Amino acid sequence: MSPKIARMVIKELHVHDTRNQDILSKREKMILSHLEKGLTYKEIAGLLCISPHTVHTHIKNIYEKLQTRSREEALRKAARIGIL
């Protein structure tokens, strides 16, 4: 890889790294942290005074934004990119 291309790749990775914190909303980060603790949708809903359906919608959005398909995968990726 040429030095010019290497610099472009490093620059692109750095830009993605600084944007990782803004991928999820504050509420989505809160729900993700509750998922990390092992809480169910119903328990999260009770803590946040929202319906379980709303929790499900937030989690669906989290999966989409993180490009994941499961709780474990989302938690792993969130930890890896510095959200959790």
Residue ranges of alpha helices (H) inside the chain are 3-19, 26-36, 41-48, 52-66, 71-80
Q: Enumerate domains of the chain plus CATH numbers.
A: 3-80 (1.10.10.10)
Supply the angle between the helices 26-36 and 41-48 in degrees, to the nearest 10.
130
pTM for this predicted structure: 0.74
- Residues 46-66 have pLDDT tens digits of 999 999 999 999 999 999 999
Residue 45 scores a pLDDT above 50? yes
